[in-house]
A and B are shown apart, each in its own frame.
Chain A
Amino acid sequence: MGEVIVITSGKGGVGKTTTTANIGTALALEGKKVVLIDADIGLRNLDVVMGLENRIVYDLVDVVEGTCRLKQALIRDKRFNGLHLLPAAQTRDKNAVTPAQMQKLCEELKQHFDFILIDCPAGIEQGFKNAIAGADKAVVVTVPEVSAVRDADRIIGLLASNELPNPLLIVNRLRMDMVKRGDMMDIDDTIDILGVDLLGVVPDDEKIIVSSNRGEPAVTEDSSLAGQAYRNIAKRLLGEDVPLMNLQTEETFMDKLRKLFSGKNKKKH
């Protein structure tokens, strides 16, 4: 029996689709049978991030409306064994699907796959309600900014009142250089405020954009820090105890000088 995980955030553009694509691919690379569902009806994106846009024949709405069989709509990713995509409809709106239909779909997919990852649309309206309906577990993606964290808090509350308490948090686009000079909230700040468990931290990495240009998830790129972070996250979802990556960059001479004079190096008595 598989597990259904919804990737959500509240605020738009913080990295839900990127996260879904990368965790899904990483899980497939770990030998799991995975299906990614794009629940962002009307604004589908997961297909292009995955580089599968030319293979779409049927979509999620076709499946729930019975226009095609579920199997016909699943696109098998030939690059990664076990990975599949169920694309969103582009010409319909969120009301084309109901929570009950999503639930039924998830139940069916659970019979055949180890992981069902749902890429949730931004917002808290119908699309959100559909995306979380069949989920067993929720992952909340945020970036270390006031508005995104505030929206994440709202989503965490809504998830709790929809029988999805204790979601796992991913802090995306962390910039260590900014954290270091005190211009970005660090991980502890963010967890402290939201009061949820951390699933992983993904650094801001231009390789994410390069890989979405190519339609190849960053987890396939050994040298990508973000790719590494997503591989670690996938391992944690599989129950492995993987420590957080060291995102620390080398201390510059100026950093050292500043530390010395601000007394942070002094021993406390």
Chain B
Amino acid sequence: MALLDFFKFFGKEENKSKDIAKERLKLVLIHDRANVSPKFLDLIKGDIIKVISNYMEIDETGLDIRLSRIEQEDDNYTSALVANIPIKRMKNIGKNNG
């Protein structure tokens, strides 16, 4: 047994296959769950419009929100909710609360 193997044997088992399984499942389920329910993104969309509208006037027809996969530095992918929200005009709240 090489020294390296020796440490691997006793050391923290890092690449346990069950952890890999769990991570993969979590990611795949994010997409499954969002995709099976078309209402899901619409619900989020509605809520986002509500919140943002308190602060700025937005172009609701140009609003684009979707789930996508983003590549990280370590070559792994993570899921992200990506929203593109065109702003028409800022409201005055920000200014007054300064």
* Interface residues of A, Cβ cutoff 8 Å to B: 145-146, 149-150, 153-154, 157, 179, 181-186, 189, 193, 257-258, 261-263
Contacts and interface: CB of A to CB of B under 8 A. Distances in A.
Contacts of B24: 146
B11 A261 contact: yes
A157 B13 contact: no
Contacts of A157: 33, 36-37
B2 interface: no
Contacts of B29: 150, 153, 193
11 contacts: A150-B25, A150-B29, A154-B32, A181-B13, A182-B16, A182-B19, A185-B22, A193-B29, A262-B12, A262-B13, A263-B12
B18 A179 contact: yes
| Interface pairs A-B: 10 shortest CB-CB | A182-B16, A261-B10, A185-B18, A183-B17, A146-B21, A182-B18, A189-B22, A262-B12, A153-B29, A146-B25
B18 to A, nearest CB: 5
A184 to B, nearest CB: 6
A150 B32 contact: yes
A193 B18 CA distance: 13
A235 B26 CA distance: 32
B18 A145 contact: no
A262 B22 CA distance: 22
B70 interface: no
A262 B17 CA distance: 18
Contacts of A150: 25, 28-29, 32
A185 B21 contact: yes
B10 A193 contact: no
A185 B29 CA distance: 16
Interface in B4-47: 9-13, 16-19, 21-22, 24-26, 28-29, 32-33, 36-37
A258 B28 CA distance: 33
Nearest to A158: B36
Contacts of A179: 18
B9 A258 contact: yes
A183 B32 CA distance: 24
